[in-house]
Copies of this chain bind each other. A is one copy, B any other.
Amino acid sequence: MTSRSSQYSDEDRITKMGPGVEFDFIRSLLDSSKGLEHKVLLGPGDDAAVMHLDHPLIVTTDLTVEDIHFRRSWVSLEEVGFRAVMTAASDLAAMAANPVGVLVSLAIDSDRIDTELSELGVGISNAILDLKTNLVGGDLTASPGPTIINVTVLGETLNPIRRTGAQVGDELWVTGVLGGSAGAVRAWASGINPSPVLREVFARPIARIREAQWITEYGDIHAMIDLSDGLVGDAQHLAAASGVLINIEKDLVPVHPDLHDDDAYEIALLGGEDYELCIVSSPGSLVPLVDDFHKHFEVPLTHIGNVIEGEGIYVKGLDDLDGAEDIYSFDHFISRNSKC
């Protein structure tokens, strides 16, 4: 991980960045992190990090760009940094993997480098500490404008849970309550401040790493995905990958209690970025775990539908939804990102 020269050697706005110095700040915030550090044979400071893994590597990368994924008027940069790491780690949760390392690339307008790096750094390191993982590498460069954060998360697991394993007769479950994040965005988009609770759902998402591992340890899990596109969108990904039809019972969907409008169900079904888990289990496998799950993790585990023969998604009770006609054309709600 060497430094590369910028091509703008004569531009003052870039010269504030010295090699390694700024990332030292983030690393210093992580001194208390002892999470799985035995897996890091060589951390930041050389050309690349060296890691020892006991199981197959699970890896994902996630790009967050100012004015695309967040607005400064909505969240603090500390929250932006925290959120970028957590939402990337959520993809590992969806595979029931354990994060063992994080690499963070940052581009910041160098006129604002001092304050912004320190705010982003606090959020990034708090997320890494919460995940009990390690910062193993990074890159810091100037930006011509927008603040940019790319997070790569490395994890491992012996048994990754894929999207492809849903079988006819299986049950569909979700963790937590849905729609909070989209509710906050809708409030901001309408020019009002969301309730502090809804704001928190957007600003400080939690990757369900421990929940995913617990549930795959005690339950019989066939497929899993994290809710980034929204329940209907992500269930559609599961259905397509598994070649089945997923039936969601609208009335069973756990709507965030702070959503009070007529379209609360629509937001819970279609709103993205809840980062809860959507789980396909064998019939009856999760029922005995519901109380223990709630006790352990303080969020509900809810049976919301079933896997049947066919393809795609069916939402039972859909006709009651305000704006139901949008359900079948929800492209404008989802997937302005494309991951592979």
What are 11 A-B interface contacts by the 8 Å CB criterion?
A1-B62, A42-B160, A47-B95, A48-B91, A48-B160, A51-B57, A61-B138, A103-B152, A139-B338, A143-B146, A144-B145
| A6 touches which of B47, B97, B336 (Cβ 8 Å) | B336
A59, B49: Cβ atoms closer than 8 Å: yes
Q: Does A22 contact B (CB under 8 A)?
A: yes
Residue in chain B with minimal CB distance to A144: B67
Residue in chain B with minimal CB distance to A234: B2
Q: How many copies does the complex hold?
A: 2
Count how many chain A residues have C-beta atoms less than 8 Å from C-beta atoms of the other chain.
110
A14, B60: Cβ atoms closer than 8 Å: no
B97, A48: Cβ atoms closer than 8 Å: yes
Interface string of A106-146 (1 = CB under 8 A from B): 11000000000000000000000000000111111111111
Q: Does A285 contact B (CB under 8 A)?
A: no
A332, B228: Cβ atoms closer than 8 Å: no
Chain B residues whose C-beta falls within 8 Å of the C-beta of A273 in the assembled complex: 4-5
Chain B residues whose C-beta falls within 8 Å of the C-beta of A262 in the assembled complex: none
Q: Does A18 contact B (CB under 8 A)?
A: yes
Q: Does A8 contact B (CB under 8 A)?
A: yes
Q: Does A92 contact B (CB under 8 A)?
A: yes
